[in-house]
Amino acid sequence: MDVTVAVCMWNAEKTIESTLQCLLNQTMQDFNLLIVDDCSTDGSVECVERFFVKHPRQYEVVRQLENQGIAYERNFALHHARTKYLIFIDSDDFPLPQLVEKEYAAISCDQELTAVSSWSQFADANCNRMRGGLFIGDTTKEEFRKRAEADKRIFLPIQTLFVREDAIRVGGFRLDGFPEGKPRYRDFCEDLDLWTRMSDLYVEGKYIIVLPEVLYLYRKTDGLSSNHFNMIIKMEFVKVNVRRRRKGLPELTFMEYYDSLKPEELARLKKDSSAADCLRNGVFYVRDGKLLKGFRLIAESVWNNPTYIFDKIMANSGLVKK
């Protein structure tokens, strides 16, 4: 077997069975299934074991003794697996039947590819498709190379099949250099950080592409948000480090980066965070019929960062696709 499908879960007893059923429905079944449990306090592991009593197939469960967070669990899976390729599936999502087959077909026949991803669409808890999704990533080698040469970050959905040794070579999922305690900054945009470091391999003729096809349903949860700041500051950290690497400078740890921020830079990041929170909450209120409050928040989002709503439309609406 060339492929490991890794599912990292924490307290997923309500969702893991539907995700496992989607994996059983894959048209390509020649993969190792690795499930890493992040010290769940519910019956997640028991749900997995009961599922495979009813539906026998190869699988491995590794139970962690303490909760470490998603970056640690994914890094564990990266090093624990022994196959050439690895793909992560979230424990509450719905991979469509041809996901593994199509991404594997693309990457296995082209030695220049280090990662292959695909589009995803939002879905509700019952696997019903919703408007919007993640329509991101470069669909050709030429597009990717231009982005890499311009020192751009590489945004990909999680359902990306990649060469495991290449990911290990660039450092895997980053665990060190973060402050102790909460928020656990290493868990924000941990995949963006890895994909962007893997894009450094363009100098070796390695490419990352996205198949322009929806092969994954991402479970979308509605609700109010006030936590975009942690994600945005981590994204800026990734941007700073890709530029430093391309200039031959040593990377900053997250703590070094945070401590180097000037007050005006921190204020800008907080405005960007407010734009993201206001847009998400505004859309939530509009959908809930609270139009006045919703449109006021959307307007506040535009005031804080006029380009943010445009970027979201480009990436998530599905109205603009390559």
Question: What domains sit in the chain, N to C, each tagged with a CATH number?
Answer: 3-219 (3.90.550.10), 228-316 (no CATH)
Strand partners, 218: 122
Cα 73 to Cα 173: distance, rounded to the nearest angstrom: 9
SS3 216: strand
Residues 51-99: pLDDT tens digits? 999 999 999 999 999 999 999 999 999 999 999 999 999 999 999 999 9
pLDDT tens for each residue of 13-30: 999 999 999 999 999 999
Contacts of 270 (CB under 8 A, 6+ apart): 229
Peptide bond before residue 179 is cis, with ω within 30 degrees of 0: no
- In whole angstroms, give the CA distance from residue 132 to residue 213: 14
Q: What is the pLDDT of residue 131?
A: 84
Q: How confident is the model at residue 225 (pLDDT cuts 50, 70, 90)?
A: low
d(CA 283, CA 207) in angstroms, rounded, equals 36
Quick one: what percent of the chain has pLDDT higher than 90? Answer: 75
- The pLDDT tens digits for 136-178 are 999 999 999 999 999 999 999 999 999 999 999 999 999 999 9
- What's the rounded mean pLDDT across residues 213-230? 80
Question: Helices 190-198 and 70-80 meet at what angle, rounded to 10?
Answer: 40
- pLDDT of 280 reads 74
